[in-house]
């Protein structure tokens, strides 16, 4: 569950992480009024669930009410990497002496928390991570021990933050760690964490991703639901009762069972392609489920080929075949389908489908062969 910057900053503030005073607005006059209350100069910032807003022109200063209204008017409605700006954050402008990066996330393989701190914030941290990995001081934190002041201090020193920033940074790291752990976040990130010429350290940006499974402990997190970016495909699939996760590739995947569906996504990658989705039809290979699955995948403009991968067990091959036959009557398919049908009653099922096999609907004997064929039909590698 990803928070917008202004939500992330409110979340930080609850844990005592200092952020600039600000308000949000969804129209220019509201923005100008907010700016007057805050005091000039202000910075007006697009509120979308993607980074890189600064580079895209979504973070701009304003020195008076007219300018604030004009800047807000420019930013509202802007498209930033596929997201339309519907709200802006108006904030007291900060003077910047230095820009740092600080973040906490999970290191699953180490089974520890991972803290990252760098004196080279403000720019793409991914770029720093690649070109100059030593510029990021990494700290593995045992969740049982937590992070104490001494560890935070030597970490700040290892990251070579300016000495003027050490005290403020240590304080923020401790509070940010608390926000990360107490709030059940998967990620908290501050880029930039700034040092002002006056010696204050504060969070100028906020990226927070909360673990949605912790909602039972945090009923207040429900307020974030309304602002979650919506994947229309997922909404349509869930409305039809399908286990579906949207992905970015070109091969639509239908499989029975979560394990087989995941393996199918993997094998499509191994074959040099990329899955457009994860879709588990479960034990329900009846006509309604199969038709719903084909409809959802057919409506996805990214899909160029479909790989149906079914292993008969609890559901039988002939039942699957009947489901596909009936579904094909109902759905006018755009993309070619490759079917791998194995397991119980597979031979009967394939015999039933024989009359409808064509260039647009072929079978493969094995899972790897099916994946290769589907990737080929989708136009090759990702």
Contacts of 53 (CB under 8 A, 6+ apart): 45, 46, 59, 80
- Distance, in Å, from the CA atom of 51 to the CA atom of 61, rounded to the nearest integer, reads 18
- Minimum separation from the CB atom of position 232 to ligand GDP (A): 24
Tokens 């007006």 identify what position?
44
Asked about 189 being catalytic, the answer comes back as yes
Segment near ligand GDP (CB under 6 A); pick from 64-72, 88-96, 251-259, 307-315: 88-96
Residue 356 lies near ligand GDP (rule: CB under 6 A): no
The binder of ligand GDP chosen from 68, 136, 141, 204 (CB under 6 A)? 204
How distant, in Å, are the alpha carbons of 256, 261, 262, 266, 323 from that of 282? 5, 10, 13, 18, 13
Cβ atoms of 289 and 314 closer than 8 Å: no
> One symbol per residue from 269 to 308: x for binding ligand GDP (CB under 6 A), - otherwise; what is it?
----------------------------------------
Residue closer to Mn ion, measured from CB, 91 or 205: 205
Segment near Mn ion (CB under 5 A); pick from 12-20, 72-80, 90-98, 191-199: 191-199
Max intra-chain CA distance, the chain: 79
Using CB under 6 A, which residues numbered 121 to 140 contact ligand GDP? Answer: 122
What kind and span of H or E run contains 180? helix 163-182
Residue closer to Mn ion, measured from CB, 55 or 217: 55
Asked about 101 being catalytic, the answer comes back as yes
- Minimum separation from the CB atom of position 26 to ligand GDP (A): 19
Q: Before 192, cis peptide (omega within 30)? A: yes
Q: Which of 142, 167, 166, 180 is nearest to 15 (CA)?
A: 180
Residue closer to ligand GDP, measured from CB, 76 or 327: 76
Compute the chain's Rg from CA coordinates: 26
Residue closer to ligand GDP, measured from CB, 115 or 122: 122
- Minimum separation from the CB atom of position 361 to ligand GDP (A): 46
- Distance, in Å, from the CA atom of 351 to the CA atom of 341, rounded to the nearest integer, reads 11
Residue closer to ligand GDP, measured from CB, 164 or 245: 164
Segment near Mn ion (CB under 5 A); pick from 130-138, 202-210, 352-360, 370-378: 202-210
Across the strands, what pairs with 137?
117
> One symbol per residue from 145 to 184: x for binding ligand GDP (CB under 6 A), - otherwise; what is it?
----------------------------------------
> Which one is catalytic: 101, 113, 177, 244?
101
Residue 87 lies near ligand GDP (rule: CB under 6 A): no
Residue 39 lies near ligand GDP (rule: CB under 6 A): no
Count CA atoms closer than 13 A to 330's CA, side-chain side: 16
- Distance, in Å, from the CA atom of 204 to the CA atom of 5, rounded to the nearest integer, reads 10
What residue is closest to ligand GDP based on CB? 54
Residue 189 lies near Mn ion (rule: CB under 5 A): no
Segment near Mn ion (CB under 5 A); pick from 185-193, 214-222, 238-246, 261-269: 185-193
How distant, in Å, are the alpha carbons of 253, 275, 282, 307 from that of 269? 12, 7, 22, 13
Residue 193 lies near ligand GDP (rule: CB under 6 A): no
Residue closer to Mn ion, measured from CB, 205 or 300: 205
The binder of ligand GDP chosen from 33, 70, 78, 93 (CB under 6 A)? 93
Helices (H) and strands (E) in the chain, counts: 12, 18
Residue 205 lies near Mn ion (rule: CB under 5 A): yes
Exposed e or buried b for every residue in 90-109, given b needs 16+ CB within 10 A? bbebbeebbbbbbbbbbeee
Contacts of 98 (CB under 8 A, 6+ apart): 119, 161, 162, 165, 194, 195
User: Beta-carbon neighbour count of residue 151 at 10 Å?
Assistant: 18
The catalytic residues are 101, 189
Q: Would you tell me which residues interact with ligand GDP (CB under 6 A)?
A: 43, 45, 51-54, 59, 93-94, 96, 99, 122, 191-192, 204-205
Q: Would you tell me which residues interact with Mn ion (CB under 5 A)?
A: 191, 205
């Amino acid at each position: 569950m990803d928070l917008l910057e202004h939500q992330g900053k409110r979340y930080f503030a609850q844990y005592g992480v200092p952020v600039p005073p600000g308000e949000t607005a969804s129209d220019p006059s509201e923005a100008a009024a907010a700016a007057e209350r805050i005091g000039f100069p202000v910075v007006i910032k697009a509120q979308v669930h993607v980074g890189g807003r600064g580079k895209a022109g979504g973070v701009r200063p304003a020195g008076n009410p007219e300018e604030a209204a004009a800047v807000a008017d420019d930013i509202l409605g802007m498209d930033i990497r596929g997201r339309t700006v519907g709200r802006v954050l108006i904030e007291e402008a900060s003077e910047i002496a230095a820009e740092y990066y600080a973040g906490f996330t999970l290191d699953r393989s180490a089974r520890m928390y991972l803290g990252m701190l760098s004196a080279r914030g403000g720019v793409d941290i991914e770029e720093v991570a690649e070109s100059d990995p030593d510029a990021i001081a990494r700290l593995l934190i045992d969740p049982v021990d937590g992070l104490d002041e001494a560890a935070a201090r030597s970490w700040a020193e290892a990251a070579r933050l300016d000495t003027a920033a050490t005290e403020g940074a240590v304080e923020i790291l401790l509070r940010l760690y608390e926000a990360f752990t107490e709030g059940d976040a998967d990620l908290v990130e501050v880029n930039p964490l700034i040092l002002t010429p006056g010696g204050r350290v504060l969070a100028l940006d906020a990226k927070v991703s909360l673990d949605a499974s912790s909602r039972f402990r945090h009923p207040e997190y429900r307020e974030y639901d309304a602002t979650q970016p919506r994947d229309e495909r997922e909404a349509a699939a869930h409305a039809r009762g399908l286990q579906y996760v949207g992905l970015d590739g070109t091969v639509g995947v239908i499989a029975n069972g979560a394990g087989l569906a995941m393996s199918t996504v993997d094998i499509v990658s191994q074959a040099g392609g990329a899955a457009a989705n994860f879709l588990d039809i479960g034990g329900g290979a009846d006509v309604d489920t199969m038709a719903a699955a084909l409809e959802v995948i057919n409506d996805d403009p990214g899909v160029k080929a479909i790989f149906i991968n079914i292993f008969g067990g609890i559901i039988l091959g002939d039942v699957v075949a009947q489901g596909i036959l009936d579904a094909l009557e109902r759905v006018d398919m755009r993309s070619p389908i490759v079917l791998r049908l194995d397991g119980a009653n597979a031979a009967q099922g394939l015999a039933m489908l024989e009359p409808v096999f064509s260039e647009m609907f072929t079978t493969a004997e094995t899972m790897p062969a099916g994946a290769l064929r589907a990737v080929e039909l989708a136009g090759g590698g990702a």
